[in-house]
């Protein structure tokens, strides 16, 4: 199967997660080059994603609701249809080559207490995602761990499920200087329940109680799940009362993410599930030491260059806080952070060449 010369549609109108938007921008870098030789149409969310340098690439700007309807109906028509972030059209076409991009890892596991407050929505999207994986001619995952999860949960043909890591965007400045103490802890993730940002902040509070210097927790990301936002707000109040400064920057552009990574001492990622976890890739490419959950997606990419802690048991929140506080203690020494930084920089070189979502040409 080849995509050479065939019309292509990238259906990304429902994409809105910060990390997924970075992945989408990387995908568009590749498709704008492809559009020089074949027609490409990108269904994009509002004006949030630019397509500078596009040639024959046609953009359709739509809202989330209209994009969902388009995805369900398979519009616009194409020879190659790329369903970005897990969904393909509900109405299959025998004459189309379907590619599905896995970007929502929580849809491939059992529903748990982190989705209780929106279980109906979760079940609907999970069914759509699993059906899409079985229907697709090609399923693209960004890590081997994500690939294994998709195959196990959907029964998709392993021969059709491939791994193509999302490259980090180009980093102009890397982190070469490390402070004597950890005083600025960063978390980069939108507020979904499964991201567990409140666990990171409670762990900072617990660790800060053993320190004699000022500590700041910085969060970057937008509010998505109301329950996650409420939990972080409650945790932030406790943190401020305990003397930890909490700075919430909301959604920022990618350049500011890298700027905050340079200024931070440690990145904390307690997510219970990820497909790749772009903040980890960016931190490794920047040289920012990272404490992350010991899920296979993170350990696959981080190896010896991260401190992986915590149980994958999503029910034991109190144990999580203890484990992540211990993770902060493990990187408190400046020499340890310098070693992690050097290792990450050596192993993860940023790549701005784009992300190939098409079937291999023959």
Q: What are the chain's domains?
A: 8-163 (3.40.50.2000), 184-347 (3.40.50.2000)
Q: Average of pLDDT values for 30-51? A: 81
User: 262 pLDDT exceeds 90?
Assistant: yes
The SS3 call for residue 164 is coil
* pLDDT higher at 313 or 37: 37
Q: Which of these, 266, 191, 273, lies nearest to 235 by C-alpha position?
A: 191
Mean pLDDT rounded to a whole number for the chain: 88
* pLDDT higher at 292 or 224: 292
Per-residue confidence (pLDDT) for residue 349, from 0 to 100: 81
Q: Which are the contacts of 341, defined by CB distance < 8 A and separation ≥ 6? A: 175, 176, 178, 287, 288, 289
Rounded to the nearest 5°, which phi and psi values hold at 320? -55, -50
Per-residue confidence (pLDDT) for residue 93, from 0 to 100: 86
In this predicted model, what pLDDT tens digit does every residue of 240-259 receive, in sequence order?
Answer: 999 999 999 998 888 899 99
DSSP 172: S
In this predicted model, what pLDDT tens digit does every residue of 125-173 receive, in sequence order?
Answer: 888 999 999 999 999 999 999 999 999 999 999 999 999 988 877 778 8
Percentage helix, strand, coil for the chain under 3-state DSSP, each rounded to 5: 45, 15, 40
Rounded to the nearest 5°, which phi and psi values hold at 307? -105, 110
Q: Average of pLDDT values for 224-240? A: 92
Nearest-angstrom CA–CA distance, 219 and 311: 23
């Amino acid at each position: 199967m080849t995509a050479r010369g065939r019309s292509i549609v990238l259906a990304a109108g429902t994409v809105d997660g910060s990390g997924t938007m970075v992945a989408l921008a990387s995908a568009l870098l590749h498709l704008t080059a492809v559009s020089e030789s074949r027609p490409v149409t990108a269904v994009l969310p509002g004006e949030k994603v630019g397509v500078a340098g596009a040639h024959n690439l046609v953009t359709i700007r739509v809202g989330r609701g209209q994009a969902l309807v388009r995805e369900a109906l398979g519009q616009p028509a194409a020879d190659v249809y790329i369903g970005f972030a897990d969904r393909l059209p509900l109405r299959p076409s025998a004459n189309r080559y379907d590619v599905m991009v896995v970007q929502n890892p929580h849809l491939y596991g059992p529903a748990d207490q982190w989705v209780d407050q929106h279980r109906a929505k979760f079940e609907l999207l999970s069914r759509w995602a699993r059906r899409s994986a079985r229907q697709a001619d090609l399923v693209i995952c960004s890590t081997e761990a994500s690939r294994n999860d998709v195959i196990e949960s959907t029964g998709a043909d392993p021969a059709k499920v491939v791994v193509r890591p999302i490259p980090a965007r180009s980093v102009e400045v890397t982190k070469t200087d490390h402070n004597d103490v950890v005083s600025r802890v960063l978390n980069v993730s939108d507020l979904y329940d499964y991201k567990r940002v409140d666990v990171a902040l409670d762990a900072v509070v617990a660790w800060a109680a053993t320190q004699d210097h000022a500590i700041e927790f910085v969060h970057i990301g937008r509010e998505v799940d109301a329950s996650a936002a409420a939990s972080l707000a409650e945790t932030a109040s406790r943190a401020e009362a305990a003397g930890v400064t909490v700075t919430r920057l909301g959604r920022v552009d990618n350049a500011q993410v890298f700027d905050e990574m340079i200024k931070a001492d440690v990145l904390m990622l307690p997510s219970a599930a990820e497909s790749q976890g772009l903040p980890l890739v960016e931190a490794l490419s920047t040289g920012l030491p990272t404490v992350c959950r010991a899920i296979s997606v993170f350990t696959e990419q981080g190896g010896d260059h991260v401190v992986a802690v915590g149980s994958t048991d999503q029910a034991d929140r109190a144990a999580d806080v203890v484990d992540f506080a211990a993770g902060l203690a493990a990187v408190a020494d400046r020499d340890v952070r310098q070693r992690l930084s050097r290792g990450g920089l050596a192993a993860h070189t940023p790549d701005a060449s784009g992300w190939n979502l098409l079937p291999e040409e023959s």
